[in-house]
Amino acid sequence: MNTKERKEKERERKQRMILDAAKNLFIREGFDNVSMRRIALAAGYSPAAIYRYFSNKREILSHLREEGFRAFHVRQKQYDQSLEPVKLLRQAGRGYLRFAMEHPDDFHLMFCTTCEEVDLEGELAAESLRVFEHFRSMVVRIVKSGYFGDVDEEAAVFGLWAGVQGLANLVTSGRMQVLSDRDVDELLESTLNFLRR
């Protein structure tokens, strides 16, 4: 029966409504300051109905985070891996910062919004791992090319990750007024220069 497909579509559409409502609220007021009752209200449901679509509040956030990681991953994958290391690094860094600027909501949910979760689970864990592995493989390739001289791979992976992460945090938290693409590029350039020499 074709009804099954349409059913599924319909279900996903309703899930989306809930996700969108939750996302709006989480971003504006923070995970802890948003109740299931308010999510339900915003999505046009009764509180109990939400539990037909998500098993609990944390799962809603997980879902949103996963979507963020997925979008981020898609973007990072598109860079040409055959580029010479310097250019690849620059492109990837720029991509990272631009993502943080263009999708501040996703970025905030992914890295800033907190909900004291013990361990990542399911699809979220898988997707964020993919992102990290992609990053790692890129850094390893650059290290092997000798760009950073003779340096421990682990240290490079971690140092760059922490650096770019913090950079993005600075940018999105508004503690640094960057608006134009040129600003981003300059910031990136000075940081890369620092890391190299």
Residues of this chain that bind a copy of itself (CB under 8 A): 30-33, 114, 116, 148-152, 154-156, 158-159, 161-163, 165-167, 170, 187, 190-191, 193-195, 197
Q: Where are the alpha helices (DSSP H) in the chain?
A: 3-29, 36-43, 47-50, 57-77, 85-102, 104-107, 122-144, 153-172, 181-196
Among 24, 30, 42, 51, binds DNA (CB under 7 A): 51
Distant-in-sequence, close-in-space partners of 55: CB < 8 Å, separation ≥ 6: none
4 lies in the site for DNA, by CB under 7 A: yes
The answer to whether 35 and 42 have CB atoms below 8 angstroms apart is no
181 lies in the site for DNA, by CB under 7 A: no
**Minimal distance in Å, beta carbon 63 to DNA?**
13
CA angle 131, 175, 148 (to 5 degrees): 45
28 lies in the site for DNA, by CB under 7 A: no
Q: Which is nearer to DNA, 33 or 81 (CB)?
A: 33
Distance CA 99, CA 80 (A): 17
Q: Which is nearer to DNA, 53 or 79 (CB)?
A: 53
**Minimal distance in Å, beta carbon 16 to DNA?**
13
Distance CA 171, CA 100 (A): 8
Please give the residue ranges that form the binding site for DNA (CB under 7 A).
1, 3-4, 7, 10-11, 14, 34-38, 45-49, 51-52, 55-58
